[in-house]
Amino acid sequence: MEVQNTFPGELEWINGPEDLGYFSLSFQAKGPEGLARLGFGAYRFKDPDSIHFPEAELEDASTRDLRPAQQWLEQCLEGHILCNQPGLHPSALPRRLIQLREETGGLQARLIESRVFPRPCPYVTLSHCWGPSPLYSLKSHLLEELASDIPLPNLPRTYRDAFEVAVRLGFTLIWIDSLCIIQDSASDLEDESSRMADIYGNASFNIAATASASSKGGLFVQEEPDVPWPHVVSIDIQIGRRFLRGDYTLVSHYFWSSNVDRSPLNTRAWVLQERFFSPRILHFGRDRLYWECQDLLASESFASGQPAFEFKSEARQWGYTPFRKLMRVNLGSRPHLQSVIRRAWYETVQNYTKSELTYQSDKLVAIAGIAKTFQSVLDDVCIAGLWKRTLIMDLLWCRAGAESTGLHRAFDRAPSWSWACLDCAITFPTWALEVPTVMATMESVEVRGSVTHQSGTLRL
């Protein structure tokens, strides 16, 4: 590795498991664009051959090696107890699904009503960025036509890639929002949007177009990474009395977060609940495949799981309990978990408000599925993004960062006292969960309208 510049930094040795020698180096430098941080861990694996370095190649869904994905899926389905616990309504199917079949002339697809199936059947879902261009989507006048045949040439590349991946992994049913929800029907949009917990939670796994900024980009973006992590280097240094010699695998501290958590897909607000509810996610990154379930984070480079210490998904640092564990919490027998669940909600909202929404009018509906899950656990009522029993403390939310002077408030979608009326990131003070005595009392609260447009009054 050629060092072109030098910066002050910190070097730290960390005792890892028996098969893992590890040290961490991090530094920061001030440049023309502000403060830059770089950090990496250096690992010495007992079996270095287990680390795979995929090369960027021109591939498509029909030729891409999906064996890692197949192994992760089989391993999870057969051995992960938490991932295989049933959802809230395990027998529920999406109202519509896309049926895939291989014909002599190639792959064929059609829209079907799920009521044709006598019992629940396996299907997969797709998470994707719609992008700025209009999508070929389901409209009322196309229902009959798409029930006969979905014209694949009219579909964006991401959809066609997802069809290929689903079939190659053994699935013939897939759910895609724009093709399975009638886009010009307000009632269908509201009904199906309220069922996201079941739609994503009951899927066998979710195909995520993680690196693509639009549905035209496809699953296989084929971009060279900024830094070719992991990277093998020969090291001969001394740290105190410890000598480090040999080949070490350097991996960025931000390997997972930069490729998955901060990807184009996972900055979208709607995708938050898709990721929250999905028991398993196959991420198509810009240079490799990534796997995420409630028991394992893995990639093609680390197929058996990301190394210890640094590799934690930002989504798993929010503080919320994984969905399938969360919805089984019995607060009646474990009241001490009340603050844990409420902290999880605070963390979820804080991260949600950092995400991007194409239509700010979706502010409440895009998180309604998650709110519904918390509501069943807390046995409480969600009022414009706040909880009735703790409404006084929930009112302590504030804008994250700069002053709120001059900030537009959309009172047509939420009351002025709800964070949902603002188009910015918000935060809750951590001490709000620990206040021993609340001096104020709530006399009444009234909210009118649907989940998408709420207004109301509050008297304290």
Q: What are the C-alpha distances in Å from 117 to residues 93, 110, 112?
A: 9, 15, 10
Residue 249 to residue 45: CA distance in whole angstroms: 8
Query: What is residue 158's predicted lDDT score, i.e. its pLDDT?
Result: 95
Residue 179 to residue 97: CA distance in whole angstroms: 9
Buried/exposed 207-240: b ≥16 CB within 10 Å, e otherwise: bbbbbbbbbbbbbbbeeeeeeebbeeeeeeeeee
Length of the chain equals: 460
Query: What is residue 14's predicted lDDT score, i.e. its pLDDT?
Result: 55
Q: Give 106's contacts (C-beta < 8 A, 6+ positions apart).
A: 152
Q: What are the C-alpha distances in Å from 5 to residues 29, 34, 299, 327?
A: 10, 17, 30, 51
Query: What is residue 99's predicted lDDT score, i.e. its pLDDT?
Result: 97
Q: Give 127's contacts (C-beta < 8 A, 6+ positions apart).
A: 206, 207, 208, 209, 265, 271, 274, 275, 278, 281
Query: What is residue 118's predicted lDDT score, i.e. its pLDDT?
Result: 80
Q: Give 82's contacts (C-beta < 8 A, 6+ positions apart).
A: 294, 295, 322, 324, 325
Query: What is residue 456's predicted lDDT score, i.e. its pLDDT?
Result: 47
Query: What is residue 95's predicted lDDT score, i.e. its pLDDT?
Result: 95
* Intra-chain end-to-end CA distance of the chain, in Å: 63
Query: What is residue 405's predicted lDDT score, i.e. its pLDDT?
Result: 52
The burial of 41, by beta-carbon neighbours within 10 Å (0-12 exposed, 13-18 middle, 19 or more buried), is given as buried
The SS3 of residue 391 is: helix
Mean pLDDT for each 10-residue chunk of the chain (460 residues)? 53 51 59 58 63 59 84 95 75 92 91 90 95 86 96 95 96 97 92 88 95 91 60 73 73 77 90 90 91 89 71 45 60 72 88 88 87 87 91 91 65 88 90 76 76 48
Contact 318, 397 (CB under 8 A): no
Q: Helix (H) and strand (E) counts for the chain? A: 12, 19
Q: Using alpha carbons only, give the angle 357, 362, 365 rounded to the nearest 5 degrees.
A: 125
Query: What is residue 234's predicted lDDT score, i.e. its pLDDT?
Result: 79
CB half-sphere exposure, 207, CA atoms < 13 A: 30
Q: Which amino acid is at 85?
A: Q
DSSP letter at 356 equals: B
What is the residue whose two structure tokens read 């028996």?
A: 18
The SS3 of residue 26 is: strand
Contact 159, 150 (CB under 8 A): no
What residues does each domain of the chain span? 9-55+222-258, 67-221+261-317, 323-459
